[in-house]
Structure 1
Amino acid sequence: MQDTRNRVPANTDAEINKKIRDETDARVRYYQQHKNDIRSRLRQLDEEWDIERAIECNASALAFTGVVLGATGDKRWLLLPAMVTAFLFQHAIQGWCPPVPILRRMGFRTASEIEQERQALKALRGDFAGISNDNADAILSAVRA
């Protein structure tokens, strides 16, 4: 069983993980040159949905739809919430379920990936004593360690 922090990336295609990481790195490098905009980006990160939230929203909408359709129409619709809860269980255990590859391709990140960008931006801004804030690559390495 994968640890919580790495279970989604471990079950994501390496090319998609690289794309997500490269996009994060590019943003951090951008903000190294535009430090006055870091506060705004940090607010955006506070609003960003992580993949867990997207999966929960997707699953609850599908399950609710299946229950309503099963209660008001054909009982076979009750298979939908049964499948959704099975997929949620699979995701909780393995970090993978059918929506994960789609959501990752759409750019949904894990909470940990979002937090890495947040901490790198705070370091660039100078929030941490003793850490040089002029090297984005060194900061990115430090927050991923």
Structure 2
Amino acid sequence: MDRRVEESIGAQLRSCAGNRRRITRRLRELDDEWDLESVLESKASIVTALGVIAGAVVNRRAPSVPVSWAASVVRLAANGLLPVEPLLRRLGLRSSREIEIERMALTIMLGDLDRGPASLAGRRIPDNGIRVVRH
């Protein structure tokens, strides 16, 4: 996990500690947060359409953008590598796993262990433990 993301999660957890209302609000915010993978997949069709239109109208080289975007989606599906990840991280996006780690920690803080970890696309999240950065 990226150190900045880990520190951000720790800061969020510390700011919510002991405040049930704040924890509940943060959990709702996490429900609405888009992860890296979802952004990449959902924007692929938009980028492809714009690239095809730009290629037909503006410049024949424009389709190279949707081709590289599609290659990123294929590479993500094949081996989990995401070539545009540094750019998306600079925009403030986190991986689904990072979001889920924060969600699980907040759920534990609430004492709501009956709910268990949420699933991602029908898969259970592996229990690798949660490390919170303390300052």
TM-score > 0.5, shorter chain as reference: yes
TM-fit CA distance, 1:83: 2.4
Q: Which has the higher helix share?
A: 1
Cα offsets for 1:71-100 (capped at 9, x unmatched):
445443333322221222223234334421
The separation in 2 between residues aligned to 1:114 and 1:75, in whole angstroms, is: 39
Q: Which residue of 1 aligns with 2:108?
A: 123
Q: Name the stretch that deviates more: 104-113 or 18-27.
A: 104-113
Q: Which residue of 2 aligns with 1:79?
A: 64
TM-fit CA distance, 1:104: 1.7
TM-score by length of 1: 0.68
How large is the RMSD of aligned CA atoms in angstroms?
2.3
Q: Which residue of 2 aligns with 1:36?
A: 21
TM-fit CA distance, 1:119: 1.1
Change (3 A) 1:103 1:78: closer
The separation in 1 between residues aligned to 2:22 and 2:65, in whole angstroms, is: 45
1:1-145 pair list within 5 angstroms = 9=1, 17-128=2-113, 142-143=129-130
Counterpart of 1:28 in structure 2: which amino acid? L
Unaligned runs of 5+ in 1: 1-8, 10-16, 130-140
Q: Name the stretch that deviates more: 80-89 or 35-44.
A: 80-89
TM-fit CA distance, 1:35: 2.3
TM-fit CA distance, 1:116: 1.0
Change (3 A) 1:71 1:103: same
Cα offsets for 1:10-47 (capped at 9, x unmatched):
xxxxxxx0010010011111111322211111110000
Kindly indicate whether the alpha-carbon contact (under 8 Å) linking 1:50 and 1:111 is maintained by their aligned counterparts in 2. yes
Aligned residues: 118
SS of residue matched to 1:49: coil
TM-score by length of 2: 0.73
Counterpart of 1:35 in structure 2: which amino acid? R
Unaligned runs of 5+ in 2: 115-127
The separation in 1 between residues aligned to 2:71 and 2:44, in whole angstroms, is: 10
Change (3 A) 1:102 1:75: closer
